[in-house]
Amino acid sequence: MTTNDNKKPQKVLATYALIALIAIFLLNIFVLPGLLERSIKETSYRDFLMSLDSHQVQEVQFDTQNYTLYYTIKVDDRVQTCKTGIMNVSDELIDRIYTSGADFSNVIPTQQSPLMNLFVGLILPMLVFFGIGILLQKWMTKNMVGGPGGAMSFGKSNAKVYVKSSTGIKFSDVAGEDEAKELLSEIVDFLHNPEKYREIGASMPKGALLVGPPGTGKTLLAKAVAGEADVPFFSISGSEFVEMFVGMGAAKVRDLFKQANEKAPCIVFIDEIDTIGKKRDGNIGGNDEREQTLNQLLTEMDGFDGSKGVVILAATNRPDSLDPALTRPGRFDRRIPVELPDLQGREDILKVHAKKIKVADNVNFREIAKAASGASGAELANIINEAALRAVRDGRRFATQADLEESIEVVIAGYQKKSRVLSEKEKLIVSYHEIGHALVAAMQNNSAPVHKITIIPRTSGALGYTMQVDDGEHFLMSKEEIENKIATFTGGRAAEELIFHSITTGASNDIEQATRLARAMITRYGMSDEFDMVAMENVSNQYLGGDASLACSAETQALIDQKTVQVVRTQHEKALQILQDNLSKLHELAKYLYEHETITGEEFMNILLRKPEGISDAATN
C-alpha cells in the first residue's frame, strides 16, 4: 500500500465529518423541533375551556415556566394533544378542571435541563454519526487496497474463499484422471509439509495449469484440492476480472494477490483463465483493459515468493490461446492435462455418480461406459441423472440398465420425438440408410461393430442413427482405419442410391464428417503422396472442436480440395461395392429395422451371420 492510498481515506473522513456536523446543526434547528411539535395542535384558550366544559378533556399538564398548557382531548376515538397559552394557574381554573373530571398535573421538567438538552440534541447524534463514519472508513480502506480511484467496491476481487471441507469435494469424488490427481496431491502435500521439500532445496511450482476439453473435471479437481488441503482456497473466475472500467481488472488482480499473501499458505484458483490470459496481439485499439489485467497478473506472479506457499491453479480449455509469457516456467510451470476419460475412466466416473442415485444391482457399468465412448465426465454425470429421472417418470424406485442405455441416447441425440411421425416411405429410406452405415462398418473388419441402430426420431433432429462401439481404446489410427471410417460415413447414402436410385438430404451430417476426416488425412496427417510430411493446416482450439486454418498457397488449396474429393469418392465407391455384394443382407436387415425400429448390435450380428433362408449349407461358402 502506498502513502497515497493512506492519505485518501483521511481526507475523505475530514470531509465527511464536516458534512455530518452541518447536518446535525441543520437537523437541530429546523427539523427536530418541527417534528416534535407537529403532532401537537395549537388552540385558543377559549377552545380549551369549551372542550373542558363539554367533558372532552382527558388530561391537563401545566408548563408554568413557558406559560403553556398541554391537554389531550378525545375526538372520534382518537386522542389529540393540544396546547394553548396560559397566564397563570388560578385556583378557579383548577376547580373547573377538577369538576370536568380531567386528570391534571404539572409538567415534568425534562426539557428544563440544559445539559440533557445538549446531550440529546447535539452530542448523541454526533456520536452516532462518528460511529458510522469510522465503520465507513474501515470498510473503504479495506476495499480500496490497490484500487486506483478508490471508488468504493470496484477494486475488490470478489474471490470466494473456501477453507477445508467447505466444498466437501475430495480427490475420491474425481474418478479417473489419476495423473492429474497425482500432480495435484503433490502440491497439497507441499502445503502441508513444506519442510520436507525445503530440506532438499526444492521449491514448489508457483502455478499449475489444468488444460483439457470442457466437462472433464478441471473445476472439480481444483475444488477437490481445496477439499484436501488444509489451507484457504481463493476461487475466482477469469471473467470476474473483466470490468466495465479500465484498470479495475488489474486492481482486482492486485487485491487478490494481496489477500493471498496475507493468508499464505493458500491456493488461488483462477477458472477459465483464457478470458484474461489471451495472447497480446499488438493490435492497436485492442482490448486495453484485458491487457492491463494480464500485465498485472504477470507482475504479481513474479512478485511473490514461492517459498511462502501460495500456489496458483488455473484452468482453461484453450491453452493455445494463452499468452506465452503466462505459461513460461516460473509462472505456470506445470501443465496438467485433464483429458477425456478412457473406458476405465468412464466406468469409474459412472460409478462415482451412480452412488448418488439408486441403481439396480445388476447394472453393468462397463457396458454403459463402452456405449458412451467419447463422453466427457460432465456428460456421464448427466447420463446417470437422466437415468434416475427416467426411472422416476416410469414409477420405478431405482434406475435399471435400460434406463442408463436410453439416457446415453438422450444425452447424445436428445429425447425421443414422439410427435414426429415419419411417412412409411421415409421410414423405409431411413432404415436402409442406417443399415447401410452399419453394414459397411461391419463388413470392413477394422471398423468397430455396431452397438445399436434406431430409426426413432430424436429432438436433435436425427431421424435415426447408428451407435458404434469401440471395443478397445485407440490412440493411433492407421490410414486404413480412417479410410474405413469414411466409407462407413458414406454407407448410408450409398444404400439409398442402391435401393431407391435417388438421394435425400438425410446424409448432410455424414458428408460433413467424411469430408473433415478426408481433409485431415491430407492436410494434417501426411497421408497423401503429394504433400509428404508437410502440414497444410494449423489447428487451434484442439479442445474445442479444433478449428483449422489453411497454411498454404492458393494452388495447393485447389489441389487439396481435389484430393479430398478423390479420397471420399474412392471410399464411397467402396461402400457401394460392399453393399452391392451383400444386397440380400441389406434387405433383410433393413426390413427387420423397419419393423422393429430399434435393433441391437447382437441382433444385427445374428441376422448378418445367419445363413440365408432356404439355402442349404453346401450352397453357401
300 vs 510 by CB, closer to Zn ion = 510
Element (H, E) at 593: helix 583-596
* Shortest Cβ 213–Mg ion spacing (Å): 11
* Shortest Cβ 465–Zn ion spacing (Å): 7
C-alpha dist (Å) from residue 122 to 16, 26, 33: 17, 11, 13
Is residue 265 reached through a cis peptide bond, with omega within 30 degrees of 0 on the bond before it?
yes
- Cα 74 from Cα 72, distance rounded (Å): 7
Element (H, E) at 467: strand 465-468
220 vs 568 by CB, closer to ligand ADP = 220
Q: Helix, strand, coil % (nearest 5) of the chain?
A: 55, 15, 30
491 binds, among Zn ion, Mg ion, ligand ADP, none (CB under 5 to 8 A by kind): none
Catalytic residue among 434, 483, 496, 497: 434
214 vs 329 by CB, closer to ligand ADP = 214
Question: Grid coordinates in use for 39?
Answer: 403532532
Instruction: List binders of Mg ion among 218-257 (CB under 5 A).
Output: 219
Total of chain residues touching Mg ion, rule CB under 5 A: 1
- Quick one: 478 exposed, middle or buried, by C-beta within 10 A (0-12, 13-18, 19+)? exposed
* Shortest Cβ 378–Mg ion spacing (Å): 9
- Contact call for residues 226 and 235 (beta carbons, < 8 A): yes
- Quick one: 27 exposed, middle or buried, by C-beta within 10 A (0-12, 13-18, 19+)? middle
168 vs 612 by CB, closer to ligand ADP = 168
249 binds, among ligand ADP, Mg ion, Zn ion, none (CB under 5 to 8 A by kind): none
143 vs 582 by CB, closer to Zn ion = 582
229 vs 439 by CB, closer to ligand ADP = 229
Is residue 492 a contact point for Zn ion (CB under 5 A)? Answer: yes
Instruction: List binders of Zn ion among 132-171 (CB under 5 A).
Output: none
Burial code (b: 16+ CB inside 10 Å, e: under 16) for 549-582 equals: eeeeeeebeebbeebbeebbeebbebbbebbeeb
Is residue 218 a contact point for ligand ADP (CB under 6 A)? Answer: yes
- Cα 102 from Cα 79, distance rounded (Å): 14
Question: Grid coordinates in use for 584?
Answer: 440380400
- Cα 223 from Cα 138, distance rounded (Å): 32
Q: Which stretch binds ligand ADP (CB under 6 A): 174-182, 287-295, 447-455, 482-490?
A: 174-182
Chain centroid to CA 607: 47
* Shortest Cβ 272–ligand ADP spacing (Å): 8
- Cα 572 from Cα 491, distance rounded (Å): 7
* Shortest Cβ 187–ligand ADP spacing (Å): 17
Q: Which stretch binds Mg ion (CB under 5 A): 5-13, 128-136, 211-219, 385-393?
A: 211-219
341 DSSP 8-state letter: P
DSSP-derived secondary structure for 261-281: HHH-SEEEEEESTHHHHBPP-
Question: Grid coordinates in use for 596?
Answer: 422393429
**Cβ contacts of 249 within 8 Å, gap of 6 or more:** 241, 242, 243, 276, 289, 290, 292, 293, 296
Q: Which stretch binds ligand ADP (CB under 6 A): 171-179, 296-304, 392-400, 565-573?
A: 171-179
Question: Grid coordinates in use for 374?
Answer: 467419447
Of the candidates 313, 300, 306, the one whose C-alpha atom is nearest the C-alpha of residue 198 is 306
Instruction: List binders of ligand ADP among 373-412 (CB under 6 A).
Output: 377-378, 381
- Quick one: 298 exposed, middle or buried, by C-beta within 10 A (0-12, 13-18, 19+)? middle
Q: Which stretch binds Zn ion (CB under 5 A): 163-171, 271-279, 330-338, 505-513?
A: 505-513
510 binds, among ligand ADP, Zn ion, Mg ion, none (CB under 5 to 8 A by kind): Zn ion
* Shortest Cβ 465–ligand ADP spacing (Å): 24
Q: Which stretch binds Mg ion (CB under 5 A): 163-171, 215-223, 321-329, 434-442?
A: 215-223
Binder of ligand ADP out of 43, 216, 235, 275 (CB under 6 A): 216
Binder of ligand ADP out of 214, 286, 303, 374 (CB under 6 A): 214
Q: Can you tell me whether residue 335 is helix, strand or coil?
A: strand
340 DSSP 8-state letter: P
- Over the window 129 to 168, marking each residue x when it contacts ligand ADP by CB under 6 A and - when it does not, the resulting string is ----------------------------------------
Binder of ligand ADP out of 220, 229, 369, 428 (CB under 6 A): 220
Is residue 376 a contact point for Mg ion (CB under 5 A)? Answer: no
Question: Grid coordinates in use for 477?
Answer: 489410427
Active site residue 59: no
Total of chain residues touching ligand ADP, rule CB under 6 A: 17
Instruction: List binders of Zn ion among 562-621 (CB under 5 A).
Output: none
377 binds, among Mg ion, Zn ion, ligand ADP, none (CB under 5 to 8 A by kind): ligand ADP
177 binds, among ligand ADP, Mg ion, Zn ion, none (CB under 5 to 8 A by kind): ligand ADP
Give the nearest residue (CB) to ligand ADP.
377
- Cα 558 from Cα 555, distance rounded (Å): 5
- Contact call for residues 129 and 23 (beta carbons, < 8 A): yes
Binder of ligand ADP out of 215, 457, 506, 601 (CB under 6 A): 215
43 vs 237 by CB, closer to Mg ion = 237
176 binds, among Zn ion, Mg ion, ligand ADP, none (CB under 5 to 8 A by kind): ligand ADP
Instruction: List binders of ligand ADP among 301-360 (CB under 6 A).
Output: 315, 349, 352
Q: Letter for the amino acid at 573?
A: E
DSSP-derived secondary structure for 377-440: HHHHHHHHHHHHHHHHHTT-SSB-HHHHHHHHHHHHH-SB-SS----HHHHHHHHHHHHHHHHH
238 vs 492 by CB, closer to Zn ion = 492
Binder of ligand ADP out of 174, 387, 438, 455 (CB under 6 A): 174
- Contact call for residues 154 and 243 (beta carbons, < 8 A): yes
> Would you name the residues annotated as active-site residues?
434
Interface contacts to Zn ion, rule CB under 5 A: 492, 510
Interface contacts to Mg ion, rule CB under 5 A: 219
Interface contacts to ligand ADP, rule CB under 6 A: 174-177, 214-220, 315, 349, 352, 377-378, 381
